[in-house]
A and B are shown apart, each in its own frame.
Chain A
Amino acid sequence: DTAVSQTPKYLVTQMGNDKSIKCEQNLGHDTMYWYKQDSKKFLKIMFSYNNKELIINETVPNRFSPKSPDKAHLNLHINSLELGDSAVYFCASSQRGGSHGTQYFGPGTRLLVL
């Protein structure tokens, strides 16, 4: 009964490959996010979706393409992976107008590009 789940947990791949990360939440929330945590632990928003519509895209290279097939899912596809994409990617969700902005996070996907 995990609230926010991500797959895979670990991803090791070669430069130039294309990979996807999946996220699902069973909290009934209408807003989902992708955050990137760099090697210094700094967390930064990448994308935000509300009711399957993109509402925030924070100057992320267009090699990154999010997709939300429904309110409970938000996937992240990355094309032509680069060394600098190595990071931990966190999915999160929240409910508009609920819980005063509280967000719930998945366990993270640790991406290593070789």
Chain B
Amino acid sequence: GDSVTQMEGPVTLSEEACLTINCTYTATGYPSLFWYVQYPGEGLQLLLKATKADDKGSNKGFEATYRKETTSFHLEKGSVQVSDSAVYFCALSDRGGNTPLVFGKGTRLSVIA
């Protein structure tokens, strides 16, 4: 079945450092790819998405590019802030729109001032 593998945390960075969280996937067909973020004590929020090869999703300074050749969707940010401290989940789903998301195990990011 489909699966998502993302780097295990926790990741601790100083403010203004660069962030990369690796994510690779295995899927039949051509899934949509997502990054969701969960701030402490809160629910899941969609951070960004990409729905076909070479698409780049971006939001709040975060970016990820859908790489079909390497089956990857790495999350990047050039300069992190304390407010970015959260758990980040990579996920995929069928583009048809009514199949469950398959999540990676999540990566906890802590940004220190």
Contacts and interface: CB of A to CB of B under 8 A. Distances in A.
Nearest to B38: A41
Given A42-B103, A55-B98, A97-B96, A105 B34 contact: no
A96 B87 contact: no
Interface in A19-65: 30-31, 33, 35, 40-45, 48, 50, 55-56, 58
Contacts of A31: 97-98
A33 B106 contact: no
B89 A43 contact: yes
A110 to B, nearest CB: 9
A103 to B, nearest CB: 6
B7 to A, nearest CB: 14
A102 B43 contact: no
Interface string B75-113: 000000000000101000111111111010110100000
From B32, B87, B100, B105, name the one whose CB has the most chain A CB atoms within 10 angstroms. B100
Nearest to B99: A101
Interface residues of B, number: 27
A96 B98 contact: yes
Contact of A102 (B34, B87, B100, B103): B34
Interface residues on A, range: 20 to 34
A101 B105 contact: no
Contact of B98 (A35, A42, A48, A108): A48
Contacts of A98: 97
20 contacts: A42-B105, A42-B106, A43-B44, A43-B101, A45-B100, A48-B100, A92-B101, A94-B98, A95-B97, A96-B98, A97-B97, A100-B32, A100-B51, A101-B101, A102-B49, A102-B97, A105-B36, A105-B43, A108-B43, A108-B44
Q: Closest 8 interchain pairs by CB?
A: A45-B100, A101-B93, A100-B51, A31-B98, A107-B43, A96-B98, A105-B44, A101-B32
Interface of A: 30-31, 33, 35, 40-45, 48, 50, 55-56, 58, 90, 92, 94-108
